[in-house]
A and B are shown apart, each in its own frame.
Chain A
Amino acid sequence: MNKLKIRKHKPFLYFYRTILHILLSIGALAFIFPFVWMLLSSFMTNTEIVASPITLFPRSFYLENFKTVFEEIPIERAWFNSLLTSGLVTFFVLFTSSLAGYMFAKMRFRGNNSLFTLVLSSLLFPTHVILVPLYLLVSQMKLLDSYIGIILPFLISGFGVFLLRQFIYGIPDSLIDAAKIDGASDFKIYLRIILPLTKPILSALGILIFVWTYDELLWPLIVINSNEMKTIPVVLGHFTRAHGQYPGSSMAASTLVVIPIIIVYLIFQRNFIKGISMTGAKY
């Protein structure tokens, strides 16, 4: 009886599978198309890009756009600045999150809960909510237009501490107790046991923090004055003023920003997605 029913559904299922794949492929192509268009139009002249009727492929291998980008905006320097600041922020967040995560997960002391509440309440005050006082504070500390000024508000993440606390909670106490009996101090346990065991969640959190930090625009826009300190998003802001006049070079700049990221993503693609689903499952 059951078999009969399943068989009755089979033609419907095949039909359904085909529709499913058609829909998913159209969607996926639509998701990728902007990048293809970016790449193609970065090799077109400005008149070619906005020509009517539209042409999808560049007529010749036109490189002027890239030349304009290197002449007009400090994109290599911006890449360096973005990598440096995001790298530093990621390092500090991973370090402090695991340090505090171990403490909250495995140690009992007076004020444990109120301190954890304070850490979580930091989620109430993202930079947007304290933008003006933060700016005044950083300028009083004479840190405007410096790397420290750019990274200062992002060094400890309440979310990171929470995530690591959850993960470390699952590490068996017996491991830590055994090390304690052998005479290891808490710092040593942190370095030798906690850090190696939290590697998967640290790499997941690291990817998230890195992506969030190099996408940050509002704070760097305020802190940075000089051209040498500008990060990638700030430099790209150049095209909000004059974009209409040269779409070609704006696409060339986007290409120079997006393509390296996509290459890194394709290499570590599995880690990226695994990382996200891991942190997602822990939420």
Chain B
Amino acid sequence: MNKGSNLFHVKPKSWDEKNHKSKFKDLRGKKPINYYILVTSLILLSYFILLSVWPFVYNLFISFWKLNLSSPKIYEKFVGIAYYKQVLTDPVFIKSLTNTLTYLAIFVVVGLVIALILAEMIHRTYGVVKKIYTAMYFTPVVTSLAATALIWKLIYYPKVGVLSTFLTNVFGMEPQTFLQDPKIALFCIIILDMWKSIGLETVILLTGVEEIPESYYEASLIDGANPFQQFYKITIPLLRPQIFFLFIIKSIYVFKVFVPVYMMTTYPQGGPMNSTQVLALNLYQQSFQNLKFSYGAVVSLIIFVLMLFFVIMQIRYFRSQVE
């Protein structure tokens, strides 16, 4: 990481731009246009301005207006911060916000811990067995999230479903209703999402573990370290870059969670009693089911602000990788 004070810290160039340019000009008189740079920059500029920057400004604008798509005059009237007030006092929105934050804490922390342990364990196996383990843990990552959410919905079938039967017979628990129980519905969804994504994290961490020289472990073994000490004292400190990066991308992902909640709860989604309501779902329902576009624009902005910290960390991380 670089320690620059500004947002997108730029490293000083190693070459002297001015000299280079003037020399070039002296020889050729006039610098020729490089069409490769021209075309590529134009593509990038026009695409990102049209589909990223402009919509964002437009979003800000919409949040202050009452919209009516059916009338010829779309912008009905200027309402100031009325929608902001409405969103921030809406109990459903508050619920979706707290749920997303709960999701963030559990999904990111527990997911990373499990992935770390798995990576370390798989690293200690050899040959074909290792490949088979990796392939098995990775399978959910490539399959469709929408389809796997349906599968898990059946696994979570209340009382007589597979998981409920398993828990009653093996651990002697009461039959559970899972997704219909407001207390645990959100956690059931988080478990599905962890199952789906852990393979990816495990493979990335495993690559990191593999790069740690074997001599470190041998040396520690001679000093009498047990496998657990090796894990804490060697593996985790040396994996810090990968852990940091996964932490950022997982956090950003959480603010966009939509598919699992949409697929696993019945229409209108987010139930029972809004216990699985999340920000992206709230955004979708308010703007495209209740057609309150300005309300949706405000929710979008709030998602943006919450994500901002993590995305800036990500961009700074990327920039620090640029030599």
A residues near B (Cβ < 8 Å) are 2, 5-6, 9, 12, 16-17, 20-21, 23-24, 27-28, 31-32, 34-35, 37-38, 41, 49-54, 96, 99-100, 103, 107-109, 111, 113, 115-126, 128-137, 152-153, 155-156, 161-162, 165-166, 169, 185-187, 190, 211, 214-215, 217-218, 221-222, 232-233, 236-237, 239-241, 243-244, 247, 250-251, 253-254, 257-258, 261-262, 265-266, 269, 272-273, 276-277, 280-281, 283
Report if B71 contacts A (CB, 8 A): no
- B contact residues around A269 at 8 Å (CB): 135
Interface residues of B in 123-144 (CB under 8 A from A): 124-125, 129, 132-144
B315 contacts which chain A residues (CB < 8 A)? 120-121, 123-124
Which of chain A's residues have a CB closer than 8 A to the CB of B319? 120
Q: Which residue of A lies closest to B304 (CB)?
A: A129
- Chain B contact-residue range equals 35 or more
> Which chain A residue has the least Cβ–Cβ distance from B145?
A215
CA distance A262 to B136 in the complex (A): 11
A-B contact pairs, 14 of them (CB 8 A): A24-B133, A35-B151, A108-B20, A109-B37, A120-B318, A125-B55, A125-B56, A128-B256, A132-B59, A169-B323, A257-B143, A257-B146, A265-B143, A280-B208
| Interchain CB contact under 8 A, B118 and A27 | yes
The CA of A153 and the CA of B227, in the complex, are separated in Å by: 47
Structural contact, B137 and A122, CB atoms closer than 8 A: no
Given A20-B121, A24-B121, A237-B263, answer yes or no on A54-B242 (Cβ-Cβ < 8 Å).
no
Contact A136 to B58, CB < 8 A, known contacts A247-B154, A257-B144? yes
Interchain CA distance A247-B222 in the complex, whole Å: 57
Q: Are A272 and B222 in contact (CB under 8 A)?
A: no
Chain A binder among B86-94, B181-189, B295-303:
B295-303
**Additional A-B contact list (19), CB under 8 Å, known A257-B144, A265-B143:** A16-B227, A23-B121, A28-B137, A50-B160, A118-B45, A124-B312, A128-B256, A132-B296, A137-B55, A161-B44, A186-B35, A187-B35, A214-B144, A218-B280, A240-B262, A250-B154, A261-B142, A281-B208, A283-B242
Q: Which residues of A are found within 8 Å of B144, using beta-carbon distances?
A: 214-215, 232-233, 236, 257-258, 261
| CB–CB A34/B125 < 8 A | no
User: Are B227 and A258 neighbours in the complex by a CB distance under 8 Å?
Assistant: no
Given the contacts A31-B139, A240-B262, A128 and B125 also touching, CB distance less than 8 Å? no
Question: What is the bound-complex CA distance between A50 and B155, given in angstroms?
Answer: 10
A253 touches B48 (CB 8 A): no
Task: Closest A residue to B279 by CB, please name it.
Answer: A128
Contact partner of B311 among A124, A153, A241, CB < 8 A?
A: A124
B66 in contact (CB, < 8 A): no
CB of B162 within 8 A of chain A? yes
Whether A31 lies near B136 (C-beta < 8 A) is: yes
What's the minimum C-beta distance from B139 to chain A, rounded to whole angstroms?
7
By DSSP majority rule, is chain B's interface helix, strand, loop, or mixed? helix
* Chain B, range 143-170, C-beta contacts under 8 Å to A: 143-148, 150-155, 157, 159-162, 165
Is B300 within 8 A of A132, CB to CB? yes
Q: Which residues of B are in contact with A by a Cβ distance under 8 Å? A: 8, 10, 15, 17, 20, 34-37, 40-41, 43-45, 47-48, 51-56, 58-59, 62, 118, 121-122, 124-125, 129, 132-148, 150-155, 157, 159-162, 165, 195, 199-200, 203-204, 206-208, 211, 221-222, 224, 226-227, 242, 245, 255-256, 258-259, 262-267, 269, 280, 283-284, 287-288, 293, 296-297, 300-301, 303-304, 307-308, 311-312, 314-315, 317-319, 321-323
**Residue pair A129, B263 in contact (C-beta under 8 Å):** no
Known contacts A54-B160, A217-B262; A41/B154 CB under 8 A: yes
Residue of A nearest to B223 (CB): A5
Which single member of B133, B142, B151, B263 contacts A37 (CB below 8 Å)? B151
Question: What CA separation (Å) do A128 and B300 show in the bound complex?
Answer: 7
Contact partners of A243 in chain B: CB under 8 A? 150, 153, 266
| Across-interface contacts of A108 in B (CB, < 8 A) | 15, 17, 20
Contacting residue for A153 out of B51, B206, B258, CB 8 A: B51
**Which of chain A's residues have a CB closer than 8 A to the CB of B40?**
99-100, 103
By a CB distance below 8 angstroms, the chain B residues around A53 are: 165
Asked if B288 and A222 sit within 8 Å, CB to CB, the answer is: yes
B264 to chain A, nearest CB (A): 8
Name the distance in Å between A36's Cβ and chain B's nearest Cβ. Answer: 10
* Docked complex Cα distance between A185 and B39 (Å): 14
Our pick among B139, B256, B303 for the contact of A265 (Cβ within 8 Å) is B139
Q: How far is the CA of A153 from the CA of B121 in the complex (A)?
A: 40
